[in-house]
A and B are shown apart, each in its own frame.
Chain A
Amino acid sequence: MIRFVIRRVLLALPTLLAMLTVVFLLARVVPGDPAQVVLGDQATPEALAALRDRLGLDRPLSAQYIDFLGGVLQGDFGTSLTTGRSVVTEVAAVLPYTIDLTLSALFVGVLFGMPLGILAAVRRNAWPDYATRVLSLVGLSFPAFVSGILMLLAFAIQLQWFPVIGAAALDDPAGRIHALVLPALNLGLIMTAYVTRVTRSSMLGVLNADFMRTARAKGVSRRALVWRHALPNALIPVVTVVGLYLGTLIGNSVLTEIVFSRPGLGKLILNAISMRDYTLLQGIMVIFAACVIVANTLTDLVYGLIDPRVKY
Chain B
Amino acid sequence: MELDALALKAQQSFYEDGLADIFMGGILLLVAVLILLISHFTFFLVFAIVIFNPLIYKALIDKAKQRWVYPRAGYVQPKPLHTPTRRDNLLGVALILTLLFAPILILFVSYSYPGLIIWVTWVAPVSLGLLFSIGPFIVARKYHIYRYYLFAILPPLLGLIIPWLNLSFPSIYVAYFTTLAIQLSIAGLIALLSGTVFFLRFIQRYPIELTDGDSTNALL
**A and B associate in one complex:** no
